[in-house]
Chain A
Amino acid sequence: MDIAFASETLISLLSALPLTLELAVTAIALGSVLALALALARLSGMLVLDWFARAYVFVFRGTPLLVQIFLIYYGLSQFAAVRHSILWPVLREPYWCAVLALMLNTAAYASEIIRGGLLSVPHGQVEAARACGMPRLMIFRRIVMPLAIRQALPGYGNEMISMVKATSLASIITLMEITGVAARIISESYRVIEVFVVAGAIYLAINFLLTRLIAFVEYWLTPNQRQPMAIHGELKGEAH
């Protein structure tokens, strides 16, 4: 392995890191909103919403992400109505097409995770809140949502990691994020191993940090499961 070449590669790949992170963060943030809406639609008890969410999840989980990216990036431009609409400046950009596809895709997976979290909230907690006289929205905000997030977080963490990996597909529609730059360097230099090791290490580092971050948030959100802190000077009374 050529260290000089590897460090050169590292510098060019790190310059592509912001784009990878931007794609992942935007897609996850927008996708979580859509996922919550889909999960609520599934649980709303309204047949139309329920079936729409079911069909959405079925279609987006049953087809490859790359096909979804191609459908949005290449497919939509087939229609003159899209090309002349006000959305065209957005849909023309590969960046926004990638974000849109990643977001729609992650929403399908995340909605099932959130739905599981919402279903896991014990009914007694909701009843207690109702008995305290909380209105529906407040119950959702103060009781259901915090408990559901706590439950769904490990699963959501896995989904975030797979989203970071999925941003690599954006390179196929010309976006020069880490994998895109790596592929370019490989095809220019034919030195596969070095580039693969460096690019892989960057992705591993991102995912490692993400895992730690999620573990920290999980720790922070579950004070009830921690060991109680030892309180000093409390037992004075028992001394004599």
Chain B
Amino acid sequence: MNSPAFFDIISFGPDGWGHALTAGAWMTVLIALAGFAIGSFIGIFGAWAKISGGPVPRVIAEAYTTILRGIPDLLVIYLFYFGGSAVVTAVGQFFGAEGFVSFPGFVAGALAVSVTSGAQQTEVFRGAFRAVHPGELEAATACGMGRVLKFRRITAPLTLRHALPGLGNVWQVVLKESALVSVTGVVELLRQAQIGAGSTSLPFDFYFIAAMIYLAISTVSGAFLNASERWFSRGVRRG
């Protein structure tokens, strides 16, 4: 059994795992970004349904956030992965394909992450909208702004400003949650570390490196989020 030294693993040479781990980290970021972006859409619609939707959208949104925040993310990933595969297999059989067709893990994982993060983002956007001072919205109406213009110029920027800290938290959660997508076989950072651990029998080294890369990604993105929070609330006086 050849067991490379710690620094050989992270090197980019022929025996190193540098390229593989970088690709894995990139995949992790992609899953997290896709999940976060789709989750934002769900969150905006969910918040809209809760604030000004009729009774039916409101009940649906309430049920959605209650359920998704009460069950484990892993279960949701299994639902999308196995459920997606079942649907794809059924469609495949309809068109004459035989046997089991598996659903792409990346899509299943990104969808699962977006549905769970969408529930959190619904609450973030709802809370952020509540934090917008009603006087500012009234002032916009008084200036004669139409609904769309008021939303674009007043509501959206102010809500976003209040939502940024909460969105930052959701992003960190999404980033960590993306590690669960490894169960679907997508070669993201954790799965790549598992592969490396299996082929070199150095599990500690690989999982330690993976942990450090996760830490680096969350630190860098956290710093970026803090900076943008400062930038977007530069007009706000702090008590």
Contacts and interface: CB of A to CB of B under 8 A. Distances in A.
Interface of A: 58-59, 62-68, 70-71, 74-79, 161, 165-169, 171-172, 179, 182-183, 186-187, 190, 192-193, 196, 199-200, 203-204, 207-208
- Which of under 10, 10 to 19, 20 to 34, or 35 or more describes the interface residues of B? 35 or more
Contacts, number: 116
Given A78-B203, A190-B86, A204-B67, A67 B179 contact: yes
B83 interface: yes
22 contacts: A58-B215, A63-B211, A63-B214, A64-B176, A64-B178, A66-B182, A67-B207, A71-B207, A78-B205, A165-B70, A166-B72, A168-B73, A168-B74, A168-B75, A169-B180, A179-B74, A186-B78, A192-B78, A192-B83, A200-B70, A203-B75, A204-B70
A200 B204 contact: no
B180 A182 contact: no
Given A75-B203, A168-B72, A171-B74, A192 B79 contact: yes
B219 A62 contact: yes
B211 A68 contact: yes
A75 B210 CA distance: 12
A207 B71 CA distance: 8
B115 to A, nearest CB: 12
Interface in B80-103: 82-83, 86
Contact of A193 (B66, B72, B83): B83
Interface of B: 66-67, 70-75, 78-79, 82-83, 86, 172, 175-180, 182-183, 190, 193-194, 197, 201-205, 207-208, 210-211, 214-215, 218-219
B86 A76 contact: no
A200 B67 contact: yes
A78 to B, nearest CB: 4
B204 A71 contact: yes
Given A67-B214, A78-B203, A179-B72, A196 B78 contact: yes
Given A75-B208, A193-B83, A70 B203 contact: yes
Contact of B183 (A161, A167, A172, A199): A172
B82 A203 contact: no
B178 to A, nearest CB: 8
A182 B75 contact: yes
A223 B154 CA distance: 43
Given A64-B214, A67-B190, A68-B211, A203 B71 contact: yes
A67 B211 contact: yes
The listed residue with most B CB atoms (<10 A of its CB), out of A67, A68, A182, A207, is A67
A171 B66 CA distance: 24
